[in-house]
Structure 1
Amino acid sequence: MTATDTLVQLPAGRFAGIDFRVKLVLLLLASTLIFVWNNLIAQGLLLAFVVGLMLAAGTPLATLWRLVRITLPALVLIVVIQGLWSPFGVHPVFTLPAGWPLLGGAHVFTVEGLLFGLVVSCRILVPLLAFQLVFMTTDANDIVLGLTRLRVPYRVALLFSTTFRFVPLLLEEFQAIKDAQRLRGIDLDSFGMVRKLVAMGRMLVPLITGCLTKAQSMEIALQARAFTGSPDRTQLHPGRERLTLAERLMIGVGLLFWVGAIIARIAFGIGGSVL
């Protein structure tokens, strides 16, 4: 797997053409509703909605599975821990035989704990996939434009955009270090888990050094261009200043749904129970 395979690079399409401000509303929904709801059905529907958007935007199923597989060990561990020791646990999945010493009669896993572990897993997957969808379908220039049109200071918007530009660079640098190690007869993929962690820890030194070098080069380039961060600047591809009617409707419906979900949880407790 190459470094670029880790990130989803979606083809240009209808979702890619949506204004970044609309996508920020999607991130708001994905990042907050996961904490408003404890209900597994609601969390599952939200996850299905994000996955559906990714598929509609052209994400291959193999790439989507690769993103989930990265977090799969942590998700399984979370479900196991919640199943064993969740304070919400009442009904046991099974009970150890009473004749066993010390552990006899102990409840192992609870239904409520396992369900809440799935809820926590959804809370991890939903923002992870939503961030991938939004930032891999948006050009860095459009990110800066969208943030500045929301009255975010240009320096902050540029820093935000540059951070996401560095993610694929970091992955490519890491892959280059792995290839260099493989040429020296050191194949990390054939190592065991402990030995691989030790080897990857040693690889952090050249990785961080390379990143610092790139950051210094960027600083020199900005100084050479007399960068001041002034908001009074022109853009090579300014894009659309105003949102279309459809985009305004999407923002309005999204915010109304967000407010309604919060009010329903606080006033009526909707979404508070696991099932």
Structure 2
Amino acid sequence: MKSGLSVGRLARVGGWCVFFGGSSAMLVASFAGGTPVPTTVADYFLDGTQPNTLNHPIVDATNCATCHGLYDEEHEPWSNWAATMMGQAARDPLFHACLTVANQDAAFSGDLCIRCHVPGGWLEGRSTPTDGSLLTGADFQGVSCNFCHRMVDPDYKPGVSPAPDQGILAALSAIPVNPHTGNFVMDPDDVRRGPFDLGPKFFYHDYLQSPFHQDSAMCATCHDVSNPVYSRQPDGSYALNNIGQPHPTQDKHDMFPVERTYSEWLMS
């Protein structure tokens, strides 16, 4: 059984690499200078929270186990997270293989991969060099508890969204047009959000009740993936943007689609 699951997983993830590779091949074909295509970090810039702007770093997930783990592996939140592909996102050898291929095809493209698979390291400025060689320690906890629970809804809804979110969004250079490719917005402070009101006597950590954490659109932040080096044309084709420039619209619908897991689910 384990062998069969491994083969199935290899097929699924390997297929993703091939699909991403198709985007890379298209990029290489569009550029006459050969590989690696001389893209820059600026080509992969996305709106939202930028590296080295947090007041408090992403908290090591082992701290969460103190209250949310070590009591019932079958039901506790911590163990169930640690065993998932989110918890293993930065350790997965297939991810690192795809990261290598991406960087070989287009310079600095690994930054786009690291921001979703290793968001803590990306937010703390360790995504350059884009081969992951600066990642360390808790970075390898992947999509960790503190990361997801500090995400802010980029679409502020008066009277619904937590009031502090308005100021967080106003402080950004640009608010994401729509969620995709790791263009997350983060609370710069360690204020943890979730679907429940924990009450006035809760004192273990700062918290805010957040409807966003019950909204499937939150998943689109990493599960709709686009290649921002391309822009969609009126005839449905894709054209290479000017090298060294961010995508002009930042809209995922105007970028080359790599994954549309969320959108496909939404329309199913």
Higher relative contact order (CA 8 A, sep 6+): 1
Decide which structure has greater helix share: 1
Asked if TM exceeds 0.5, the reply is: no
Coarse TM-score class (shorter-chain normalised): under 0.3
Q: TM-score, normalised by structure 1?
A: 0.22
Give the structure with higher Rg (CA). 1
- Write 1 or 2 for the structure with the bigger share of strand: 2
